[in-house]
Chains A and B, each alone.
Chain A
Amino acid sequence: MSLQHFINHAVSPWMQADGPDADIVLSSRIRLARNLSEFAFPVIASKEQAQKALYFIKEKLEDESYHSLGTFEWLQMNELQSIEKRVLVEKHLISPNLDKESGDSAVLINESESVSIMVNEEDHLRIQCLFPGFQLNEALTLANGIDDWIESKFDYAFDEKRGYLTSCPTNVGTGLRASVMVHLPALMITQRMNRIAPAINQFGLVVRGIYGEGSEALGNVFQISNQITLGKSEEDIVEDLRGVVMQLIQQEKVARRDLLKMSKIQLEDRIYRSYGVLAHSRIIHSKEAAKCLSDVRLGIDLGIISGLPRTILNELMVLTQPGFLQHYFKESLTPDERDVRRATLIRERIQLEQNQDEPRD
């Protein structure tokens, strides 16, 4: 398989498009948690009950289509290889929790992979809409439409007082989780993020790194999402998040301008060094790769580096994760081997861009 072909399959089509404020906001996501009133929730359902719910849902949604989204493909967890499931997790199309030992869970995915509907995760249905750039309202509108469409086929677990009833009390009410993925290199370099993150928490929003573990945010990529789902309308939840993210965008822009003004040569040096590492290294750990990718992406956004697409950060952050590396090289790899293959893949990816005008076989 050629790298180009692999990327085309590995990176969701929706991710390759540019959205509004794409220099800072990588993607926007809306997730709605819904349950059917007829069945016990998946967390306590017996195998028989879980299967019944699964097939009940499958019958009504498999190969159905909603407006321009195309048909939904039904992927059942017990029919997938573990590496395939891992890739779906790394593409954020399913949560790690969807993969259960019982295998009575599935996901419906449209062609462009902008919509995924998880079945029998913690709740019966988890509708997820992904948009490139800063498009929370667009994502909410689409999610609401899909929600209405699904509700025309099923009786939801809904209560006038508590709203949409979810398995976990943290999701009840709207069942809505709105989130944006933001790239904040300048706020990190200038160490301003330390002060901003606690302030964001005060607004009932959660900031966390997407890649890497704990508080560490690999590649300076953060996810910001709402915590509260009850007692606020969907529109207000999204609007509050939007307001805070707009502030963040503003702050990041100021920090980028300050860096350019006060330490341009140091910034250029940092960016070109990282570019050099990515283009030439033979062994690279995921942490170093993430740092360099973040630097190069900042270089692209500031016009310091040209000839590379913006999406290279999101793309390579996904592609160089362990699941994808093993999927690409079609073998199980030790951490040392992975660092070598990761370096190879990144070099090839950058060369692909540099050779773009030349004919390829």
Chain B
Amino acid sequence: MECQECHIRPATLHFTKIINGHKTEVHLCEECAREKGEIMAGSNAFSIHNLLSGLLNFEQPMEANGGSHEHDPLQCPKCGLTYNEFTRIGKFGCDECYKTFDEKLNPILRKVHSGNTAHIGKIPRRMGKDISARRKILDLKDRLQELVEKEEFEEAAKTRDLIRELERGGDQ
């Protein structure tokens, strides 16, 4: 069947419009449908997400070989999304999913983000106050370790005091 709009390309989209009870059959090629605004550009396009979900699915059989369970044991307690479902749609269902699927995430994130698995950017200003403080202490502890290894004890003592001070501040 040819496209009823351009009469050149074959119609690949067939749908029925019902407006005020009046039924009309529409047969369009993708290009004309997009131009007419019947479908929005991009909604049908092959996207990075399709690619990603392919990537996730690819891992599935390999892991399934090791496991003896037929049903999927991993399910998010908050939104109900299963790991299988996650690999199919390539999307998380809620914030809790990240915790639920945590042990499976590193390989996926590494692939998508050039080997990275941890966030080092912005921390929410209001909610993340504790995190910011804790992160600073962790950084300082790393530094302390370095200083001790380099035997720069004077500087290390100062850093230790600073850590103590920050940790006390956190308790209050």
Q: Which residues of A contact B (CB under 8 A)?
A: 35, 37, 39-41, 43-44, 82-83, 86, 89, 95-97, 99, 122, 144, 147-148, 151-152, 155-170, 172-174, 176, 204, 213, 228-234, 237, 322-323, 326, 332, 334-335, 338
Q: Which one of B14-22, B33-41, B60-68 is at the interface?
A: B33-41
Residues B37 and A82 in contact, CB atoms below 8 Å apart: yes
Residue of B nearest to A163 (CB): B119
Residues B92 and A169 in contact, CB atoms below 8 Å apart: yes
Residues B116 and A155 in contact, CB atoms below 8 Å apart: no
Task: Kindly provide the distance from the CB of B60 to the nearest chain A CB, expressed in whole angstroms.
Answer: 15
Residue of A nearest to B135 (CB): A160
Instruction: Pick the residue among A41, A44, A176 that contacts B121 (CB under 8 A).
Output: A176
B157 within 8 A of A: no
Residues B79 and A40 in contact, CB atoms below 8 Å apart: yes
How many A-B pairs have beta carbons closer than 8 Å: the answer is 155
Total contacting residues, chain B, CB less than 8 A? 49
Residues B122 and A159 in contact, CB atoms below 8 Å apart: no
Q: Which of B40, B42, B93, B95 has the most CB of A within 10 A?
A: B95
Q: Mark B82-119, 1 if CB is under 8 A from A, else 0.
A: 00000001111111001100000100110011111111
Residues A174 and B121 in contact in the complex (CB < 8 Å), given A41-B93, A169-B90, A231-B113: yes
Residue of B nearest to A99 (CB): B40
- 7 A-B pairs within 8 Å (CB atoms) are namely A41-B94, A157-B94, A158-B123, A164-B122, A166-B92, A229-B113, A335-B5
Residue of A nearest to B116 (CB): A231
A40 neighbours in B (Cβ, 8 Å): 78-79, 93-94
- By Cβ-Cβ distance, the 5 closest A-B pairs, closest first, are A231-B116, A163-B119, A96-B40, A157-B95, A230-B113
Task: Kindly provide the distance from the CB of A43 to the nearest chain B CB, expressed in whole angstroms.
Answer: 5
Residues A322 and B37 in contact in the complex (CB < 8 Å), given A168-B49, A170-B49: yes
Residues A173 and B126 in contact, CB atoms below 8 Å apart: no
Main secondary structure of the interface of B (DSSP, over half): loop
Cα-based distance from A322 to B115 in the complex (angstroms): 42
Cα-based distance from A48 to B81 in the complex (angstroms): 17
B10 neighbours in A (Cβ, 8 Å): none
Residues A165 and B118 in contact in the complex (CB < 8 Å), given A95-B42, A96-B42: no
Instruction: Pick the residue among B92, B118, B127 that contacts A155 (CB under 8 A).
Output: B127
Residues B124 and A151 in contact, CB atoms below 8 Å apart: yes
Cα-based distance from A332 to B109 in the complex (angstroms): 45
Residues A156 and B114 in contact in the complex (CB < 8 Å), given A41-B93, A323-B37: no
Cα-based distance from A169 to B121 in the complex (angstroms): 16
Main secondary structure of the interface of A (DSSP, over half): loop
A169 neighbours in B (Cβ, 8 Å): 52, 90, 92, 105, 108-109, 112
Cα-based distance from A196 to B36 in the complex (angstroms): 35
Instruction: Pick the residue among A170, A204, A230, A335 that contacts B52 (CB under 8 A).
Output: A170
Residues A335 and B120 in contact in the complex (CB < 8 Å), given A40-B79, A122-B91, A228-B114: no
A234 neighbours in B (Cβ, 8 Å): 121-122
Residues A152 and B92 in contact in the complex (CB < 8 Å), given A162-B98, A174-B121: no
Task: Kindly provide the distance from the CB of A51 to the nearest chain B CB, expressed in whole angstroms.
Answer: 16
Residues B95 and A37 in contact, CB atoms below 8 Å apart: yes
Instruction: Pick the residue among B79, B109, B120, B135 that contacts A172 (CB under 8 A).
Output: B109
Task: Kindly provide the distance from the CB of A320 to the nearest chain B CB, expressed in whole angstroms.
Answer: 12
Residues A231 and B114 in contact, CB atoms below 8 Å apart: yes
Q: Mark B45-57, 1 if CB is under 8 A from A, else 0.
A: 1001100100000
A335 neighbours in B (Cβ, 8 Å): 5-6, 32, 35
Q: Which of B93, B117, B121, B134 has the most CB of A within 10 A?
A: B121
Instruction: Pick the residue among B42, B109, B118 that contacts A97 (CB under 8 A).
Output: B42
Given contacts A40-B78, A173-B113, 18 further A-B pairs with CB under 8 A are A41-B94, A44-B79, A44-B81, A89-B41, A156-B124, A158-B123, A158-B128, A159-B119, A164-B119, A167-B92, A168-B91, A172-B98, A228-B114, A231-B116, A231-B118, A322-B37, A335-B5, A335-B32
A156 neighbours in B (Cβ, 8 Å): 124, 127
B172 within 8 A of A: no
Q: Which of A148, A156, A160, A233 has the most CB of B within 10 A?
A: A160
Residues B40 and A89 in contact, CB atoms below 8 Å apart: yes
Residues B125 and A230 in contact, CB atoms below 8 Å apart: no
Residues A165 and B92 in contact, CB atoms below 8 Å apart: yes
Interface members, chain B 122-153 (any A CB < 8 Å)? 122-128, 131, 134-135
